[in-house]
Amino acid sequence: MYLSAFQNFKIYIVNFTDLARDALHIYAGLAVYLIVALLHKRQLKSHFAIWAVVLVAVGCELFDARDDLINHGYWRVGASLHDIVNTLFWPLIIWLSVRFKVWKA
């Protein structure tokens, strides 16, 4: 079985953190969102922050799709969509709640 450098890196992170892959997708999405929001200085309502999470999630899944095609001969679209949803869910919930002022101070 072919393992790309990206897959080896993901395996290393899973083994190092001892977390499930789903949890790592959630943490990665939140980390990207919060870091870009912090750097952009528009806080949590930054369009750049949510789009950065989308780009990272889709970009990583394209790497996974390439590896799926090499190893399995087909792209596991369901698994990729599952990972994208896991990565985007909480950043999107936070962004929407701040954007549409769900909580008023």
Please tell me the predicted confidence (pLDDT) of residue 104.
66
Q: Does residue 8 fall inside a structural domain? A: no
Q: Does residue 11 fall inside a structural domain? A: no
Q: Check whether 103 has a pLDDT greater than 80.
A: no
Q: Does residue 46 fall inside a structural domain? A: yes
Domain of 46 in residue numbering reads as 20-99
- Spatial neighbors of 43 by CB under 8 A, at least 6 apart, are 37, 98
Q: Does residue 54 fall inside a structural domain? A: yes
pTM of the model as a whole? 0.88
Please tell me the predicted confidence (pLDDT) of residue 105.
52
pLDDT 10s digits, 5-49: 888 888 899 899 998 989 999 999 999 999 999 998 878 888 999
Q: Check whether 77 has a pLDDT greater than 70.
A: yes
Q: What is the largest CA-CA distance in the chain?
A: 54
What whole-number distance in Å separates Cα of residue 34 and Cα of residue 50? 9
Please tell me the predicted confidence (pLDDT) of residue 72.
86
Question: Cβ distance 45 to 95 under 8 Å?
Answer: yes
Q: Which of 39, 42, 38, 37 is nearest to 92 (CA)?
A: 37
